[in-house]
Amino acid sequence: MNTASVSRKQTSFRLSETLLARLQEEARRHNRSLNNLVESVLMSFVSSHPNKTTLAAMKEAETSDNLETLDMKEFRNFVDSL
């Protein structure tokens, strides 16, 4: 179990009453606090976007002529050896 403490800063947002009600209902349905639900949704959103290093690697993979081919039999043997 991870017992490391995460530093948090209190903040406030103005949300539509309809959105707030929907968020509160979702939190209740999933047996979570409103804060926990909103924090996890926001974390998921910001984590789903690749960073500059990943974007550069993706571009290189799409455009490079120097890519190696993968022998699936050798790959399976490698995975089995782990």
Number of domains comprising the chain: 1
Residue 50 lies in a domain: yes
Residue 47 lies in a domain: yes
pLDDT in tens, the chain (82 residues): 666 788 999 999 999 999 999 999 999 999 999 999 999 999 999 888 889 999 998 898 888 887 788 899 999 999 999 9
pLDDT, position 2: 65
Residue 76 lies in a domain: no
Query: pTM of the entire structure?
Result: 0.57
Domain encompassing residue 31 = 14-62
pLDDT, position 20: 98
Half-sphere CA count of 26, side-chain side, radius 13 A: 13
Residue 45 lies in a domain: yes
CA 66 from chain center: how many Å? 30
Residue 68 lies in a domain: no
Residue 54 lies in a domain: yes
